[in-house]
Copies of this chain bind each other. A is one copy, B any other.
Amino acid sequence: MELTERANILVRFNEADPLGIVWHGHYVRYFEDGREAFGEKYGLRYLDIYKYGYTVPVVKVSCDYKRSLRYGDRAIVETRYIDTAAAKIKFEYTLYNAASGEIVAKGSSMQVFLDKETSTLQLTIPPFFEDWKKQWGVL
């Protein structure tokens, strides 16, 4: 089963740089917007995970820029869960120009689990996330 969610992005004036295009650093924020939309659909928002006793800091992020976005453009971020055997959460992102349908960027992120009280890195998959995987048919 494939777990994905799409979210709308409206490019703000203050996100475009002197060249008139969205500054590349803002895409990391778009990815987080996508991840949160995914989390809302599948019960995996930061707040949900926090309630289970964990924080999930990003330990790796990457982005390939294919086309540019301009102020006023509408984009769609598609967030796809990629299952791994490790105690990690991996997502892949595809950013589309909503008008043309063209791919604007592709990216990925990796998160780990820390105990929210002690900040200890979890080397095995936390029980709540095993349950989550079962619930959504990825285990």
- A residues lining the B interface (CB < 8 Å): 12-14, 16-21, 23-25, 28-29, 32-33, 36, 45-47, 55, 57-65, 68, 71-72
Task: Decide: A32 and B57 in contact? CB cutoff 8 A.
Answer: no
Contacts of A25 in B (CB 8 A): 14, 25, 28-29, 32
Copies per complex of this chain? 4
Interface secondary structure of A, over-half rule: mixed
Selected A-B contacts with CB under 8 Å, 6 pairs: A14-B25, A14-B29, A25-B28, A25-B32, A62-B62, A62-B63
In the bound assembly, the distance between CA atoms of A20 and B36 in angstroms comes to 17
In the bound assembly, the distance between CA atoms of A65 and B63 in angstroms comes to 15
Task: Decide: B14 and A46 in contact? CB cutoff 8 A.
Answer: no
Look across to chain B and name the residue whose beta carbon is closest to the beta carbon of A47.
B72
Contacts of A13 in B (CB 8 A): 17-18, 23, 32, 36, 46
- What is the distance, in angstroms, from A32's C-beta to the closest C-beta of chain B? 6
In the bound assembly, the distance between CA atoms of A28 and B23 in angstroms comes to 10
Task: Decide: A19 and B57 in contact? CB cutoff 8 A.
Answer: yes
In the bound assembly, the distance between CA atoms of A1 and B55 in angstroms comes to 43
Contacts of A68 in B (CB 8 A): 57
Task: Decide: A28 and B24 in contact? CB cutoff 8 A.
Answer: yes
Contacts of A47 in B (CB 8 A): 71-72
